[in-house]
Amino acid sequence: EFYRRLAATDSLPVTSQPSPGDFASTYRRLAATDPDILSIHMTSGLSGTFNSAQAGASLVPEANVTLVDTKTLSVAAGWQVEAAARAVKAGWSKEQILALLARIGEASNSLYTLEELKYLIHGGRISHMKGLIGSILNIKPMIGVEKVNG
């Protein structure tokens, strides 16, 4: 549905991370049931979400929030979330779960390709001229996410 609508419009979507207040509200609600919270996020190298979550956690002293920067995106981040959920369900300790997430992160690589360059142009990642030349040459860039800082 999203990609169908995206192809049919000239206006491109924009994104914004949740505010620290949004995170604080969620952490406060969760802490009412269990103060130990594992909060797993997409790479801080490409988004302000992790920093926003960190600021939100500092507003909720009754919560013991452990933040995880996956240093990746999309499916590779999802693998860490899924593994953590299964480990929690199996009764693993926080330390065991964090070690597991570190191993998964180290073993995962993220590569992406784009069918069109217009999103890179719109986001300011490449100039209009580079986008035009790349489109004429039918270049499909491969984008990777570094493990050091996302």
**Per-residue model confidence (pLDDT) at position 95:** 97
Q: Is the pLDDT of residue 150 over 60?
A: no
Residues, the chain: 150
**Per-residue model confidence (pLDDT) at position 97:** 98
CATH class of the structural domain 13-108:
alpha beta
Q: Is the pLDDT of residue 90 over 70?
A: yes
HSE-up (13 A, CA, CB side) for residue 48: 9
pLDDT-based confidence at residue 86 (cuts at 50, 70, 90) = very high
Q: What is the pTM of this model?
A: 0.80
**Per-residue model confidence (pLDDT) at position 31:** 98
Distance (Å, whole) CA 19 – CA 65: 16
How do the domains of the chain map onto residue ranges? 13-108, 110-150
pLDDT-based confidence at residue 149 (cuts at 50, 70, 90) = low
Query: What is the average pLDDT value for the chain, to the nearest integer?
Result: 91
| DSSP at 90 | T
